[in-house]
Amino acid sequence: MFEAPTIAEFLADSNLASTLPATLLLAWTLLLVLVDLFAGEEREHWTPIFAGIGLVLSFLATLFVYAPAEGEQIALYGMFIADAFTGFLNMVILVATLIAILMSWDYLKRAGVHRGEYYILTLLSSAGAMFMVAANDLIAVFVALELLSIPLYILAAFRSIKNDGSDLALKSEESGMKYFILGAFSSAFLVFGAALVYGATGSTNIPQIVQTAQLVVGGATTASFYLLVGTALLIVGLGFKVAVVPFHMWTPDVYEGAPTPVTALMSVTAKIGGFAALLRVLVTALSVLVLTEGDAPAWQATATLIAILTLILGNFVAIAQRSLKRLLAYSSIAHAGYIMVAVAAAGSAGVIDAATQSALVYILAYMFTNLGAFAVVMTIEREDGSGGNIDDITGLARSRPLLAMAMTIFMLSLTGIPLTAGFVGKFMVFASAVQAGLFGLAIIGVLTSVVSAFYYMRVVVNMYLRDSSADAQPALETPYVRWAINIALAGTLVFGIFYPLATNLVSMVSIA
Amino acid sequence: MDVTGLSLTTITLFLPVVGLFILLLMNGETQKSSLKWVAFATSVVTFLASLLMWVNFDPASAELQMVQRNTWAEVSLGDSVINISYFVGVDGISMLLVLLTTFIMPIAILGSFGSNIFEERGREKLYYIFLMLLEWAMLGVFVVHDLIIFYVFWEVTLVPMYFLIGIWGAEERIYAAVKFFLYTMAGSILMLIAILYVGNRAGTFSTYSAGGDIGVIERVHNWQGEGTYWDALAPDADGEDESFLFDSVESLLFLGFLIAFAIKVPIFPFHSWLPDAHVQAPTAGSVILAGVLLKMGTYGIVRFNLNLFPEATVAWAPTIAFLGVVGIIYGAWVSYAQDNVKKLVAYSSVSHLGFVVLGIFALNAQGLQGATLQMVNHGISTGGLFLIVGMLYERWHTKEMADYGGIWKIMPLFGAISLVISLSSMGLPGLNGFIGEFTILLGSLGSDYLGFAFTLFGTLGVILAAIYLLKMFQHVFMGELKKPLANEDDYKLRWYEKAAYIPIIIMCFWIGLQPIVFFNMLDVSVDSIAALFVS
């Protein structure tokens, strides 16, 4: 006899409480719709403030739920998992979203497109990212990915709601459309990959895939073949999201056209979601995909190749960019390459935990630094969207010394110079690559970071070493973005100078 | 186990940071005149602290002294956990280079007192902040014995130097600054991979043993297994097998470290950044670059390459020493061909550091002692030469030798000072340069690994040095005065200029006449390294 469970029974049974940070944020977002509805024009600042409160509450919930000693918990009958990995990335996503919201208020006001929906979509997307880092099932990965992506498609086109026919509006529309079409396309790959893996192993649940995949691989069966093709398609689908070569084509256009705070947000949260899923799928579920006894799993070679291509292309093409947003777009492709180095290293037994942890430290450093750099770019952009070229920051050190100093520190961190968070991330990633025996990859990684020094230093050269011939632009009043920069700067320096801080935070992470 | 008491080394190391924070809190506009005094006072206090270290230093002990070691972070690499520790301490070599750094710094700051770069470029506060940051990072390089922290300090020196050249340099400063940054970073980043491998293999990043933990150096030297520590199965560890040079792990690690250091020194053919950086840098930048920064490279070779990879060192010694000799002659040759006086001095660095490289790879006690002392000598003499060039430029606004002449007549004291420093640089007996070069040549003559030809061609360098330096002296100081200055007062030396030269002249004579004081300091430390290479 089937009996419908009471709500209390359901809660206890499904262990929903362990997904509290993400579900809380989702519920809060729905509440935010009402707040925005009743706030009206004269109280329009309520929406961002409430959005911020929601992020803080979710952050507190993360601290509360993910006490490191608790170990991992399964929620919603195996759909989601709450472990140290999820907890850490939740916090990174929440801080990133907070910084992005601080940037957005100024930007939307300046662009004349201030709408409450913006914040709702931002929070929805972040909730999607949080579900994605907790996903323990290919279905959950897909659903969370869509929740992460669809709001981002709309946000990318957000500038075009003021349909003034301006270049900016058109570019934003193009950006949203491009992102949507290619994103939908990549989702199809992901779903097809998941279907093939399901066909081969009979399950979409990651822990169960591990068990059945072990039996399937090795034999020259069709199941083994499907598993291999499925894995490849999953890599393609997620590779689109994290923008690694050769699935990166959309990135520069989308990043350039989207409103700057949206670009900042999606360069961080979409990548976090994508890499989290990639790590869970490859490391947790498919580390048994060993074709010849004693070898590394089959996907390690693929990941290595993707990492090499991404590092080389991202860094070299960035040199040619004049627009700062495009430069940062290519640099974000390159950084995906560095995280990919960690993913490849995670293919070697014995390095799995170290490599996963190094990927997380890198993501943390990249989050602070990249958001900070985008916030600076946003500050110097003018209302019509011009002023974001590399020549426009000439002499910035004289006209706005503090802003130039912040940008310099972000550039040094992206280069990976010691005493900044970027160095800690790179150090960890290369350490795991060396430990995994991937020396060629590590050497390509360090050499391409010398290449990256060239274009990051050019930004510094323009700010400090050249004097502007034109008069300095009157600075736009941007009270909140200053706080975004401050938070990003503090993160970059604190995690850079106090090295153990980041490593201690991730020391409990283990997804093998 | 850690040795956690606050050591004098830590205090000396962090004094520049104190100065940096004081400068940060000052107002760059209203307190403009006191900025330089704060920087100067900080550097003098740091110098006094390093003298105190010298007083406490026991030259008879082979151990690191004034040690402090705190575990800083634990990196989990796979199954093992590797400690990164804040590990400072000095032996004779470090002590001498710490003294050199703290000695050069106040002089470099005095050299910027009369500089007109601030009228044009401003940002005086930032300038002194970068000088403090640079001093901290350079001291860190010389006292730290943990590979990762060493790498941190090593890379951090790049940033202030980049800005010093880039903001306050001459016309081509941007090109020079970017070239300096990329060139040196390209070399050092490969060292990071080598460092990670070493840490991974040894399970620690500490080079020396402390408080019961065994450092990498001890592990390498006490290796009992087959082959070498790095290549348990190396075919033939004493370098006779040709494949050792390019195939063995030890040799590759050796190169990983060496390329980083060779670019910094610079060893021929990695020198092309140096003339640009030197010529474009402001006076204080050139003084520090020649005086201290280049020594980080040679220090690194002595400290890490020789200690960590003794077999590879032996295998590579003739090649690197050959490059050193090529550098001696090439540097001198190109130096002679220069019309630009600052470029002449810059290329002379290539030549002088060739001697240091030759001394190091003689791989015996004399060679190493001479090399270490020559690092100090070069710092003092070439630092002094750059000060002279800087003073000339401030008055005459030209670096072309053809525009000068007859300066000795109108500035007799300055002429005499310049003569002493030039003579010290070319190695006149009785002055410091002679002692260093003589000991190096003696070492190379007695070396088990180098032939007689190395000494022969090295000696040629001494003669060439006399030729190009006398050429410079003759063009600039003798003959008729070509361009009289508008203001007669400018012929007098300012007090801060005199104050900068006095210690340099004293050191030239002190090391020249009583080198035993400095050799004593080095004896034990150098012997322990040379003992590795007794065949």
For residue range B40-72, list pLDDT tens digits in order. 999 999 999 999 999 988 888 888 888 888 887
Instruction: Identify the closest residue of chain A to B149 by CA–CA distance.
Output: A418
Would you state the pLDDT for residue B226?
A: 67
Q: Are A297 and A414 in contact (CB under 8 A)?
A: no
Using the beta-carbon criterion (under 8 Å), do B75 and A428 form an inter-chain contact?
Answer: yes
Q: Are A499 and A415 in contact (CB under 8 A)?
A: no
B79 contacts in chain A (CB < 8 Å): 350
- Cα B190 to Cα B204: distance, rounded to the nearest angstrom: 19
**Is some CB atom of chain A closer than 8 A to the CB atom of B14?**
no
Within 10 angstroms of residue B404's Cβ, the number of other Cβ atoms is 21
**Is some CB atom of chain A closer than 8 A to the CB atom of B73?**
yes
**Residue among A350, A446, A450 whose CB faces B79 most closely:** A350
Predicted confidence (pLDDT) at residue A244 exceeds the cutoff of 80: yes
Mean pLDDT of chain A: 88
Per the structure block, which two tokens stand in for B25? 């809190």
- Cα A276 to Cα A300: distance, rounded to the nearest angstrom: 16
Angle at B433 between CA B432 and CA B435, to 5 degrees: 70
Would you state the pLDDT for residue A160?
A: 87
**Residue among A353, A427, A457 whose CB faces B76 most closely:** A353
Query: Residue B91: which of B137, B113, B58 has the closest Cα?
Result: B58
Q: Which of A465, A466, A468, A505 is the mutation pick for testing B, counting most B CBs within 10 A?
A: A465
- What are the beta bridge partners of residue B90? B65
Per the structure block, which two tokens stand in for A367? 């989050």
Distance from CA of A432 to the nearest CA of B (A): 6
Residue length of chain A = 512
- Cα A408 to Cα A141: distance, rounded to the nearest angstrom: 37
Using the beta-carbon criterion (under 8 Å), do B74 and A428 form an inter-chain contact?
Answer: no
Q: Are A272 and A129 in contact (CB under 8 A)?
A: yes
pLDDT tens readout for residues A431-483: 999 888 898 999 999 999 999 999 999 899 888 887 765 555 556 657 788 89
Q: How far is CA A490 from CA A59, A368, A475, A485, in A?
A: 18, 9, 23, 8
Per the structure block, which two tokens stand in for B484? 């009289």
- Cα A409 to Cα A404: distance, rounded to the nearest angstrom: 9
Distance from CA of A237 to the nearest CA of B (A): 29
Distance from CA of B253 to the nearest CA of A (A): 12
Cβ-based neighbours of A296, under 8 Å, separated by 6 or more = A290, A347, A348, A349
Would you state the pLDDT for residue B243?
A: 54
Distance from CA of B230 to the nearest CA of A (A): 15
Within 10 angstroms of residue A311's Cβ, the number of other Cβ atoms is 29
**Is some CB atom of chain B closer than 8 A to the CB atom of A351?**
yes
**Is some CB atom of chain A closer than 8 A to the CB atom of B3?**
no
**Residue among A354, A442, A457 whose CB faces B193 most closely:** A442
pLDDT tens readout for residues A412-434: 999 999 889 999 999 999 999 98
Q: Are B172 and B276 in contact (CB under 8 A)?
A: yes
Instruction: Identify the closest residue of chain A to B183 by CA–CA distance.
Output: A450
Orientation of helix B173-202 relative to helix A439-460, angle to 10°: 150
**Is some CB atom of chain B closer than 8 A to the CB atom of A431?**
yes
- Cα A50 to Cα A30: distance, rounded to the nearest angstrom: 12
- Cα A416 to Cα B412: distance, rounded to the nearest angstrom: 51
**Is some CB atom of chain A closer than 8 A to the CB atom of B163?**
yes
Of B130 and A220, the structure prediction assigns the larger pLDDT to B130
Of B245 and A39, the structure prediction assigns the larger pLDDT to A39
Instruction: Identify the closest residue of chain B to A409 by CA–CA distance.
Output: B159
Would you state the pLDDT for residue B258?
A: 93
Would you state the pLDDT for residue B235?
A: 47
Q: Report domain extents, chain A.
A: 308-512
pLDDT band at B121 (very low <50, low <70, confident <90, very high): confident
Q: Read out DSSP for B454-474?
A: HHHHHHHHHHHHHHHHHHHHH
- What are the beta bridge partners of residue A111? none
Q: How far is CA B377 from CA A185, B185, B423, B510, in A?
A: 68, 27, 12, 11
Would you state the pLDDT for residue A1?
A: 56
**Is some CB atom of chain B closer than 8 A to the CB atom of A466?**
yes
Q: Which amino acid is at A118?
A: Y
Using the beta-carbon criterion (under 8 Å), do B200 and A453 form an inter-chain contact?
Answer: no
pLDDT band at B239 (very low <50, low <70, confident <90, very high): very low
Least confident range of A108-117, A185-194, A215-224, B25-34: A215-224
- Cα A135 to Cα A145: distance, rounded to the nearest angstrom: 10
Distance from CA of B186 to the nearest CA of A (A): 6
**Is some CB atom of chain B closer than 8 A to the CB atom of A77?**
no
B123 contacts in chain A (CB < 8 Å): 397
Using the beta-carbon criterion (under 8 Å), do A427 and B192 form an inter-chain contact?
Answer: yes
pLDDT tens readout for residues B282-320: 888 999 999 899 999 999 999 999 999 888 888 899 999
Beta-strand ranges (E) seen in B78-122 are: 80-90
Would you state the pLDDT for residue A164?
A: 78
**Residue among B151, B159, B166 whose CB faces A412 most closely:** B159
DSSP H or E run through A30: helix A20-39
Predicted confidence (pLDDT) at residue A219 exceeds the cutoff of 70: no
Q: How far is CA B391 from CA A306, B274, B334, B414, in A?
A: 55, 21, 24, 10
- Cα B278 to Cα B264: distance, rounded to the nearest angstrom: 13
pTM for the full predicted model: 0.91
- Cα A82 to Cα A108: distance, rounded to the nearest angstrom: 35
Would you state the pLDDT for residue A3?
A: 74
Predicted confidence (pLDDT) at residue B153 exceeds the cutoff of 50: yes
**Is some CB atom of chain A closer than 8 A to the CB atom of B174?**
yes
Using the beta-carbon criterion (under 8 Å), do A499 and B72 form an inter-chain contact?
Answer: yes
Per the structure block, which two tokens stand in for B158? 């790049």
Q: What percent of chain B has pLDDT over 70?
A: 94
- Cα A152 to Cα B41: distance, rounded to the nearest angstrom: 56
pLDDT band at B359 (very low <50, low <70, confident <90, very high): very high
**Is some CB atom of chain B closer than 8 A to the CB atom of A432?**
yes
A-B Cβ pairs (cutoff 8 Å, strict): 99
What sign results for the dihedral spanned by CA atoms A157, A159, A161, A165?
negative
pLDDT tens readout for residues A319-352: 999 899 999 999 999 999 999 999 999 988 888 8
Cβ-based neighbours of A490, under 8 Å, separated by 6 or more = none
B162 contacts in chain A (CB < 8 Å): 457
**Residue among A443, A465, A500 whose CB faces B72 most closely:** A500
pLDDT tens readout for residues A254-287: 999 999 999 999 999 999 999 999 999 998 888 8
Query: Residue B178: which of A288, A358, A457 has the closest Cα?
Result: A457
pLDDT tens readout for residues A137-193: 999 999 999 999 999 999 999 988 887 778 888 889 999 999 999 999 999 999 999
**Residue among A434, A454, A499 whose CB faces B200 most closely:** A434
Mean pLDDT of B368-392: 92
Q: Report domain extents, chain B.
A: 8-533
Distance from CA of B271 to the nearest CA of A (A): 18
Q: Are A90 and A127 in contact (CB under 8 A)?
A: no
Using the beta-carbon criterion (under 8 Å), do A503 and B73 form an inter-chain contact?
Answer: yes
- Cα A377 to Cα A389: distance, rounded to the nearest angstrom: 9
Q: What percent of chain B has pLDDT over 90?
A: 39
Q: What is the ipTM of this complex?
A: 0.88
Mean pLDDT of chain B: 87
**Residue among A350, A419, A453 whose CB faces B78 most closely:** A350
Mean pLDDT of B203-207: 85
Q: Which of B21, B124, B152 is the mutation pick for testing A, counting most A CBs within 10 A?
A: B152
A-proximal residues of B, 110-129, CB under 8 Å: 123
Give the SS3 label for residue B86: strand
Mean pLDDT of A29-37: 90
Query: Residue A121: which of A279, A244, A326, A266 has the closest Cα?
Result: A266
**Is some CB atom of chain A closer than 8 A to the CB atom of B148?**
yes
Would you state the pLDDT for residue B80?
A: 67
**Is some CB atom of chain B closer than 8 A to the CB atom of A417?**
yes
**Residue among A351, A397, A465 whose CB faces B173 most closely:** A465
**Residue among A417, A465, A500 whose CB faces B159 most closely:** A417
Using the beta-carbon criterion (under 8 Å), do B178 and A442 form an inter-chain contact?
Answer: no
Within 10 angstroms of residue A335's Cβ, the number of other Cβ atoms is 30
**Residue among B155, B185, B196 whose CB faces A431 most closely:** B196
Would you state the pLDDT for residue B370?
A: 93
Predicted confidence (pLDDT) at residue B455 exceeds the cutoff of 80: yes
Per the structure block, which two tokens stand in for A328? 């940062």
Please tell me whether the peptide bond between B16 and the residue prior to it is cis, using omega within 30 degrees of 0. Answer: no
Using the beta-carbon criterion (under 8 Å), do B77 and A453 form an inter-chain contact?
Answer: no
Instruction: Identify the closest residue of chain A to B77 by CA–CA distance.
Output: A354
Q: Read out DSSP for B129-146?
A: HHHHHHHHHHHHHHHB-B
Predicted confidence (pLDDT) at residue B233 exceeds the cutoff of 70: no
Beta-strand ranges (E) seen in B218-302 are: none
B73 contacts in chain A (CB < 8 Å): 499-500, 503
- Region of B75 please: left (phi>0), alpha (psi -120 to 50) or beta: beta
Q: Read out DSSP for A196-253?
A: HHHHHHS--BHHHHHHHHHHHTTS--HHHHHHHHHHHHHHHHHHHHHT-TTS-THHHH
